[in-house]
Amino acid sequence: MPFVNVGEENSMPIELYYEDHGAGRPVVLIHGFPLSGRAWERQERALIADGHRVITYDRRGFGKSSQPSTGYDYDTFAADLHKLVTTLDLWDFDMAGHSMGGGEIARYLGTYGTQRVRKAAIVSGVPPYLLKTSQTPTGVPQEVFDEIEGALIHDRFAFFTEWNKNFYNTDKTLGKRVSAECVQDSWNQAVGASPAGTIACVPSWHTDFRADLPKIDIPVLVMHGTEDRVLPIEACGPRTHELIKGSEYVPVEGAPHGLCWTHAEEVNSELLRFFK
């Protein structure tokens, strides 16, 4: 299996698992919490059919990548992404990030620049700054992050059962836009992820990307589900759009946080159009 080495912890290497399929202009897809590169299944299929080379990878701690006890911050995530990009020697490529993956895009472009990248799409992403403060009144209160972290520590297996209900808005979509089997697979991926990593990711969700976003000088598509119960649309999508000059904003009507599955046709249509 293909891996990229991004460091080590004690006697163990830290390696990112990736897949590289298709031919044409490369598109790097960055998954959300608590899934893996497989979360892009429906987008990967459409992009390859449209003539793209598609690269997915598993964030450290998730999927088939190593599960170290450290490095669950956006400076490290961006460095991991940069190592993948440089190892594969990618140039003039496109990228899309869902949820936490939107943070990777913001920090990667804010830190390493846009010389290698042609276009970027942030899909229901965590930027610009999720924490509720006097400057960001539509954000999420600190107590919510504390409750999530506490629930993961107490019983992450039970937590992810509840998490998926809001990830997919199953009260509205189950049996219509998402199957019980798909929800179960998401649970399997979540509980198979690093226990330390899933907990450590929670504080990263309110990383401040407001200094990164104005540095981005390539075309950016910002999409967000209007019924996202995980990352409130009023705190994320439109605010990210405002901070990236010349970006395009597309709300996906009725979509939950897991819109890459439940609203795959709508997401695919916009990505194919944008990456033309």
Give residue-wise pLDDT tens across range 187-211: 999 999 999 999 999 999 999 999 9
Which residue, among 139, 132, 111, has the nearest Cα to 212 in the 3D structure?
111
Q: 109: domain range? A: 3-274
- Helix, strand, coil: what percent of the chain each, to 5? 45, 20, 35
Work out the percent of the chain whose per-residue pLDDT is above 70: 100
Specify the pLDDT at position 98.
98
pLDDT at 259 over 80: yes
Q: In 105-258, at which residue ranges do the beta strands (DSSP E only) sit?
A: 117-123, 220-225, 248-252
Rounded to whole angstroms, how far apart are CA atoms 121 and 104? 11
Average pLDDT over residues 65-79: 98
Q: Which amino acids are annotated catalytic?
A: 99, 228, 257
Average pLDDT over residues 24-30: 98
Specify the pLDDT at position 240.
98
> In angstroms, what CA-CA distances link 47 with 53, 118, 122, 145?
8, 16, 16, 35
Q: Is 240 exposed, middle or buried (0-12, 13-18, 19+ CB in 10 A)?
A: buried
pTM: 0.97
pLDDT at 1 over 80: no
**Burial readout 65-81 (b: 16 or more C-beta within 10 A, e: otherwise):** bbbbeebbebebbbbbb
Q: Residues 154-173: pLDDT tens digits?
A: 999 999 999 999 999 999 99
pLDDT at 112 over 80: yes
CATH number at residue 150: 3.40.50.1820
When pLDDT is cut at 50, 70 and 90, the band that residue 260 belongs to is very high
Please state the domain count of the chain. 1
Rounded to whole angstroms, how far apart are CA atoms 31 and 248? 21
Given a contact cutoff of 8 angstroms between Cβ atoms, the answer to whether 29 and 61 are in contact is no
